[in-house]
C-alpha cells in the first residue's frame, strides 16, 4: 500500500522542521504510520495475505525503533509526536 506523491508531500509539509526537511525522524514516523494504517485496513479484508502481514510487522518494528530513538534524545519531541499522530507510543 504505497503512498502517492500528494499524500507524501502533505505529510512532509505537516511534520517537517524546516523548509528542506524531508527525512527527519518525525517525517519518517508519520509516513510509516500512514502506511501502517492503510495496510491494516487491507489486512482487515484479506485475512490470508501473509506476506503483507509480514511487511506490516516489519514497518511496526521500524516505527518503534525510530520512536525509541526520539525518546532517547528528547522526551518532549517524543510526546509531541505521539500526541500529534494519535498512536499509543
pLDDT at res. 2? 85
pLDDT, tens digit (0-9, with 9 covering 90-100), for 3-61: 899 999 999 999 999 999 989 999 999 999 999 999 999 999 999 999 999 999 999 99
CATH number at 9 reads: 1.10.287.10
Question: Per the structure block, which three cell numbers stand in for 71?
Answer: 525518546
What does the pLDDT read at residue 88?
A: 86
Alpha carbons 89 and 81: distance in angstroms, whole number = 9
Domain count of the fold of the chain: 1
> Does residue 1 surpass a pLDDT of 70?
no
**Domain housing 59:** 5-14+22-85
Per DSSP, 4 falls in state P
- Residue 73 CB partners (closer than 8 Å, separation 6+): none
Amino acid at each position: 500500500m504505497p503512498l502517492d506523491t500528494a499524500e507524501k508531500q502533505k505529510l512532509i509539509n505537516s511534520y517537517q522542521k524546516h523548509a528542506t526537511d524531508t527525512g527527519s525522524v518525525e517525517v519518517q514516523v508519520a509516513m510509516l504510520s500512514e502506511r501502517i494504517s492503510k495496510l491494516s485496513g487491507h489486512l482487515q479484508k484479506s485475512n490470508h495475505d501473509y506476506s503483507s502481514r509480514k511487511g506490516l510487522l516489519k514497518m511496526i518494528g521500524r516505527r518503534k525503533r525510530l520512536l525509541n530513538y526520539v525518546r532517547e534524545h528528547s522526551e518532549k519531541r517524543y510526546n509531541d509526536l505521539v500526541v500529534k499522530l494519535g498512536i499509543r507510543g
